């Protein structure tokens, strides 16, 4: 990997994601143990026509839940249908840390730079308007997957609303 890659993505660190078998149980654990105050759940998120998995069209779905631990978004992913990077991970390793995500300002250039650095692009696509993603395999280095996100301003504003709601929920739980 070239030295330009860390500079291109590190300032845009956004999320830590876990693949889980039971979304509700994981939400409870992250709340009780780490203090994630609230969750926004999206059920039956389909990865279909605008997504690819290992070079083939994707046909999978997952339940997703996002919360915030201070400044960092925590994403929980429960695969529910089809072959995906999430189900592949769960089958091979069990639940656990899956990826680190970076919301970059120039999605196409960052994806190209990571591809040119030798990282394998394993999943890419869109989910809804304003949200592009690309996953790069880092397994050969013994590390988690890297996700590159390309959000438009509407999606970034929505993520900020979720964070503010989480901050408010945290204050309600601990008013000190």
Let me know if residue 46 belongs to a domain: yes
Q: Say how many domains are in the chain.
A: 1
Let me know if residue 28 belongs to a domain: yes
Q: Does the pLDDT value for residue 175 go beyond 60?
A: no
- pLDDT score of 59: 93
Let me know if residue 132 belongs to a domain: yes
- pLDDT score of 170: 62
Q: Which residues of 49-75 are buried (b: 16+ CB within 10 A; e: fewer)?
A: eebbbeeeebebbbbbbbbbeeeebbb
Q: In this structure, what CATH number is given to the domain that contains residue 20?
A: 3.10.180.10
- pLDDT score of 2: 44
Tens of pLDDT, residue by residue over 96-124, are 999 999 999 999 999 999 999 889 999 99
Tens of pLDDT, residue by residue over 72-103, are 999 999 999 999 999 999 999 999 999 999 99
Q: Does the pLDDT value for residue 161 go beyond 50?
A: yes
Domain range holding 73? 11-171
């Amino acid at each position: 990997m070239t030295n330009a890659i860390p500079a291109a993505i590190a300032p845009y660190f956004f999320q830590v994601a876990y693949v889980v078998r039971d979304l509700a149980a994981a939400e409870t654990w992250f709340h009780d143990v780490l203090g994630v105050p609230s969750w926004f759940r999206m059920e039956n998120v389909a990865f279909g026509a605008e997504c690819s998995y290992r070079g083939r069209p994707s046909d999978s779905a997952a339940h997703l839940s996002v919360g915030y631990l201070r400044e960092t978004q925590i994403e929980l992913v429960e695969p529910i249908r089809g072959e995906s990077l999430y189900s592949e991970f769960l089958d091979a390793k069990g639940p656990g840390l899956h990826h680190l995500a970076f919301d970059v300002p120039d999605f196409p250039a960052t994806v190209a730079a990571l591809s040119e650095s030798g990282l394998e692009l394993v999943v890419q696509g869109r989910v809804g308007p304003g949200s592009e993603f690309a996953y790069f395999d880092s397994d050969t280095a013994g590390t988690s997957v890297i996700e590159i996100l390309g959000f438009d301003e509407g999606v970034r504003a929505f993520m900020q609303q979720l964070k503010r709601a989480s901050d408010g929920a945290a204050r309600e739980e601990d008013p000190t």
